Chain A
Amino acid sequence: MGGFQASFQKDGGCVVNKLWPPLVTPDYTPYLAQIAGCDGVCQGFAGSNPIRFMKQYASAGLKYQVIAGEAGADDFLLKSFGDEAVGLVSAAPYTLDLESDANARFVDGMLKNYDAIPGQYAALLYSNCQVLDAGLKAAGGEARDRDKFMAALKSVSLTDTPRGPIKFDHLNNVIGTIYIRRLGKEGAKYGLKLWNKTIHTYENVSQFWTWPEKDFLAHPVYSRDYPPLTRC
């Protein structure tokens, strides 16, 4: 959420309030009652909570555009969301919607072996294993020499993962594609009624987004109080 806020404010947006429900919140109404006087809402929930949030948000009569990170609109939630989630815009490192051979193979495998429509949790872990696999191959199948294996891992660069091409920066953080999706009914596959349709992609996104590395690292660590709120 800190990353969203910093980028949003950098581009001239104003964040007027931040509310922090606990991770699992049966009823969001005490928080929803405090949402007013804004243009949009960014939710950062995970697990089953986005479903309850979107539902209760709609039933509280709130109409502001909602945006979310990867966990707040994950593809595995598609079968549980109701129509109230239509219009939710999210940014995610993996999207079920991605048309590539690697993703098609992955989704087919998930359906066949686990009878489950995957979301980012499955896809990212699968990609992690692809990286490990590639690292092991590069190190000649030998992981006992830790330094050699780590060096091999760091230089892994893959193009055939379900999430698209990935590689690592000099701090060993991943560089990959970020997909911006809008939730709707168009294009739904695998028997789903709702679908996260990709409306924009950003390629080669690093952990620093558009900041120069030095500037980014000079920021304080993100917390509930940093970045501070802005009044416009």
Chain B
Amino acid sequence: MSFWLLLTVNSITFGGLLFLLSAGFSLIFGLMRIPNLTHGSMFMVGAYLGSTFLSGELGFITNFWTAAILSAIEVAVLGALMERFLLRRLAGQPLAQVLVTLGVSLMVADLCLMGWGGDPISVETPSGLGGFLRVGPAVFPLYRVAIIGIAVVIAIALWLTLERTRLGAMIRAGVDDPQMARVVGIRVSRLFTIVFGLGAGLAGFAGMIGAPILSVYPGLDQDMLPLALVVVILGGTGSLLGSFVGSIVIGFIYNFGQALLPELAYFILFLPMVIVLVVRPQGLFGGQVL
């Protein structure tokens, strides 16, 4: 009984982490029409930067949450710079843009190895969340339960931004019809930079939030990127609801697949992506066909 309960809670937790990772991916994909193959790298860089802030090596002491927000801001700036100075040059050539993100992901992986070395870095669970939550016979790590809360808060914040603010309206317009958005006076190129930065920042934040569970190590980027892809393809690009539902579904498939069908775990993880691409290319909740 506790097996099922633990796995269910963990599926939702993992889904929450995946949502933080893939919400930005989905917005970028929806607006710019390209899969950002550096998204896994952003996640990893966020975790590395956060662990450095946390270690106090920079001369000032931060707590976990400040470190997470600082690294999110830093990764957001890096993402915006990358959009402005690399991807903008290739505007209108989605293939070239995808290839550039692929190249940059190779470079980032090596730069991280140079900066932080090959040894894994372990990040302490933030204080106050190291305990357990007991429900009947089952024991849940408090931090994992907290991740669900963080994901919900971020989801609501993003939703409000998209639905209630001027920026959100512009993003939605850009996702629906970039040409038309441009015609009515929205500076779509600047929007691209903002959204790319925002998405990168979210990925960086997710990296730090995930770090106490996953730790930080070379190759973390390659482990996370395919998961973000699966979630977004499943949920549909440019759709917040799609990312949310997609994340939870993949969280369940990932956890139960490994426990119950270990040999086919990755097969059933990527299968929904193929089925969706073939049967319903716009994803479960996406408005647009890729």
Direct contact of A and B (CB under 8 A): yes
State the A residues within 8 Å of B (CB): 20-21, 24, 26-27, 29-34, 36, 47-48, 51-52, 55-56, 59-61, 76-77, 79-82
Select from chain A the residue with minimum beta-carbon distance to B216: A48
The docked-state distance in angstroms from the alpha carbon of A32 to that of B2 is 11
Select from chain A the residue with minimum beta-carbon distance to B3: A33
Out of A31, A32, A79, name the residue touching B119 (CB < 8 Å): A79
Q: Are B124 and A31 in contact (CB under 8 A)?
A: no
Could you say which residues of chain A place their CB within 8 Å of the CB of B257? Answer: 30
Out of B2, B6, B122, name the residue touching A55 (CB < 8 Å): B122
Q: Are B256 and A48 in contact (CB under 8 A)?
A: no
The docked-state distance in angstroms from the alpha carbon of A227 to that of B151 is 45
Instruction: For residue B64, give the distance in angstroms from its CB to the closest CB of chain A.
Output: 14
Could you say which residues of chain A place their CB within 8 Å of the CB of B7? Answer: 29-30, 33
The docked-state distance in angstroms from the alpha carbon of A36 to that of B259 is 14
Interface string of B153-192 (1 = CB under 8 A from A): 0000000000000000000000000000000000000000
Instruction: For residue B126, give the distance in angstroms from its CB to the closest CB of chain A.
Output: 13
Could you say which residues of chain B place their CB within 8 Å of the CB of A77? Answer: 119-120
B288 adjacent to chain A (CB < 8 Å) = no
Could you say which residues of chain A place their CB within 8 Å of the CB of B113? Answer: none
Select from chain A the residue with minimum beta-carbon distance to B6: A33
Question: Would you give 18 A-B contacts (Cβ < 8 Å), ordered by A?
Answer: A20-B262, A26-B214, A26-B220, A27-B14, A27-B213, A27-B254, A30-B257, A31-B258, A32-B6, A33-B3, A33-B7, A33-B10, A48-B217, A51-B122, A52-B213, A52-B214, A55-B212, A80-B122
Q: Are B223 and A24 in contact (CB under 8 A)?
A: yes
- With contacts A27-B213, A29-B7, A33-B3 known, is A82 near B255, CB below 8 A? no
For chain B, give the interface size range.
Answer: 20 to 34
Select from chain B the residue with minimum beta-carbon distance to A61: B139
Interface string of B35-46 (1 = CB under 8 A from A): 000000000000
State the B residues within 8 Å of A (CB): 2-3, 6-7, 10, 14, 119-122, 124-125, 130, 132, 139, 141, 143-144, 212-215, 217, 219-220, 223-224, 254-259, 262
Q: Are B6 and A60 in contact (CB under 8 A)?
A: yes
* A interface, over-half SS: loop
Could you say which residues of chain B place their CB within 8 Å of the CB of A59? Answer: 125, 130, 141, 143-144, 213
Out of B214, B224, B259, name the residue touching A33 (CB < 8 Å): B259
Q: Are B141 and A60 in contact (CB under 8 A)?
A: yes
The docked-state distance in angstroms from the alpha carbon of A30 to that of B259 is 5
**Residue among A26, A30, A48, A81 with most chain B CB within 10 A:** A30
Instruction: For residue A64, give the distance in angstroms from its CB to the closest CB of chain B.
Output: 14
Q: Are A61 and B258 in contact (CB under 8 A)?
A: no
Q: Are A82 and B122 in contact (CB under 8 A)?
A: yes
Instruction: For residue A183, give the distance in angstroms from its CB to the closest CB of chain B.
Output: 14
Q: Are A30 and B255 in contact (CB under 8 A)?
A: yes
Select from chain B the residue with minimum beta-carbon distance to A119: B119
**Top 7 A-B pairs, shortest CB-CB distance:** A48-B120, A61-B139, A59-B141, A30-B259, A30-B258, A48-B217, A29-B10
Select from chain A the residue with minimum beta-carbon distance to B223: A26
Q: Are A51 and B258 in contact (CB under 8 A)?
A: no
- With contacts A29-B255, A30-B259, A61-B139 known, is A24 near B219, CB below 8 A? yes
Could you say which residues of chain B place their CB within 8 Å of the CB of A26? Answer: 214, 220, 223-224
Q: Are A27 and B6 in contact (CB under 8 A)?
A: no
The docked-state distance in angstroms from the alpha carbon of A20 to that of B212 is 23
Instruction: For residue A71, give the distance in angstroms from its CB to the closest CB of chain B.
Output: 13
The docked-state distance in angstroms from the alpha carbon of A80 to that of B121 is 6
Instruction: For residue A11, give the distance in angstroms from its CB to the closest CB of chain B.
Output: 29
Could you say which residues of chain B place their CB within 8 Å of the CB of A55? Answer: 122, 212-213, 215
The docked-state distance in angstroms from the alpha carbon of A80 to that of B55 is 12
Could you say which residues of chain B place their CB within 8 Å of the CB of A47? Answer: 120, 217
Q: Are B121 and A61 in contact (CB under 8 A)?
A: no
Select from chain A the residue with minimum beta-carbon distance to B220: A26
